[in-house]
Every structure is written in C-alpha cells, then in structure tokens.
C-alpha cells in the first residue's frame, strides 16, 4: 500500500512494448518508484503489454485505464495483469466510480481517480460512497502547450480538509514542476517517457532514464 509519508515518482510509459523492454530494466529498483502502463500503451499493447511490464518490474504498477464504464471488469483485468493500482476517470458516472473503488478495495489494489477535465474535484468526491486512495490532478497532454493551463494545486487543501487521500500530480511534469507539486502537498509526481522529438515535457526516451529518475527521487524527497 502507498504511504502518506512517502513521496513517490511514477514513471509513465505511453509508447510501445519495445521502449518498455529497452528502458524499464535500466530503472533502479525502489519502493518510491511506480511504473505506469499509460493509456496509449494499453490501447496499443493491451493487457498482454501490462503482463510484460509486471514480468520486468517487481514493484508497484499503475494501469492507467481511465475507466469510464464497465468498472468491475476493467479492474479485474488490471489486477489479473499484475497491476497494483488503476485509474478511473473523474467525469465517469458516479455509479461507475463507486463500483471501481469498491472492486479495487476487494482485490487489494489502489484506486485512483483521474480528474482530467474536472473543474472541481471535491464535488466529485462528495458524491461518492467512499473516497479513493489517490486523486490525480491532471493537466492533459493536449493542454500542455496552452498558455495558462496549469495543474490545479489549489484543490489539494480543500480535498484534504475532508478526505484522507493521496494526491498525484500529472501532466507535463519536469524537475521544476515536480518541486512545485511536492511543495503544494502532492504525494506522487507522474513523469512521462516521451520521444526525443516530442513537444511534451518529461524524460526523453534517448536520455539516461535511470540517472534522471534518481534526480527526481532526490528532488521530491
């Protein structure tokens, strides 16, 4: 289980299986590192790709499903593929989110609500039968290059005043943004592996990912 007193680095793979097999074995083993099978990766490689990640990484694995319906089946697929956490989209029907959280609890994996596109995450939490383990404040990839689009840290204290949830910050996170996330109370920073020619921020796939991961861990300690 994730610990409120620990600051975690979540490294997201969004490309193909080849990049996972090349980069993942170089990443240092750490209880503070979560490996994410990103939504594009799952769409491209399916749950067999998830299983390959679980073969290569003996640690925490996040299935970024962004479930919008069919919660019970999707949680079970993630669990059976080796995931220790999974995401549901915050704009999904409340019934879907409730089922998702309940099934995650039953299977012993972490439930994460991704609040991409949600203006007020607390309003979603207040409608639920029980809170998730993690709330993800997410600036979408397509929003990264829009001036003024930021990760909404202002919601953290409002949510924490009512719920004992962990907060994850995602979307264009580099070392500077990681420092800001932790300063504002986040428990998890999500960093994308991106292509060398990508306009998005993250760790370039042709860089020394292992060394940069260590820099992130030192920064968010």
Condensed to tens digits (0 to 9), the pLDDT of residues 84-119 reads: 999 999 999 999 999 999 999 999 999 999 999 999
Please check whether residue 173 is in contact with residue 201, taking contact to mean a CB–CB distance below 8 angstroms.
yes
- Domains defined for the chain, CATH in brackets: 8-219 (3.20.20.70)
Mean pLDDT of 144-163: 86
Question: H-helix or E-strand containing 75?
Answer: helix 71-80
Spatial separation of the C-alpha atoms in residues 177 and 180, rounded to whole Å: 5
- Residue 146 pLDDT grade (very low, low, confident, very high; cuts 50, 70, 90): low
Question: pTM of this prediction?
Answer: 0.95
Share of the chain above pLDDT 90, in %: 87
Q: What is the pLDDT of residue 172?
A: 84
Cα–Cα–Cα angle for 163, 61, 2, nearest 5°?
Answer: 35
Nearest to 86 by CA among 118, 133, 46: 133
Answer yes or no: is pLDDT of 138 > 90: yes
For the segment 57-64, the average pLDDT, to the nearest whole number, is 97
């Amino acid at each position: 289980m994730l610990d409120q007193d620990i600051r975690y680095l979540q490294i997201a793979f969004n490309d193909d299986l080849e990049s996972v097999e090349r980069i993942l074995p170089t990443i240092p083993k750490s209880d503070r590192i979560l490996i994410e099978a990103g939504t594009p990766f799952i769409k491209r490689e399916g749950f067999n790709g998830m299983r390959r990640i679980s073969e290569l990484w003996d640690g925490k694995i996040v299935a970024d499903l962004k479930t919008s319906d069919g919660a019970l089946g999707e949680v079970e697929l993630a669990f059976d593929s080796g995931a220790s956490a999974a995401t549901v989209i915050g704009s999904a029907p409340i019934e879907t989110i409730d089922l998702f959280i309940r099934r995650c609890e039953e299977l012993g994996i972490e439930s994460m609500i991704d609040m991409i596109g949600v203006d007020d995450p607390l309003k979603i939490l207040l409608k639920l039968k029980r809170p998730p383990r993690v709330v993800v404040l997410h600036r979408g990839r397509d929003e990264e290059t829009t001036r003024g689009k930021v990760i909404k840290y202002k919601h953290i204290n409002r949510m924490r005043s009512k719920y004992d949830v962990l907060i994850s910050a995602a979307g264009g996170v580099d070392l500077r943004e990681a420092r800001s996330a932790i300063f504002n109370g986040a428990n998890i920073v999500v960093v994308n592996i991106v292509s060398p020619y990508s306009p998005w921020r993250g760790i370039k796939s042709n860089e020394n990912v292992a060394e940069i991961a260590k820099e992130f861990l030192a920064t968010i300690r």
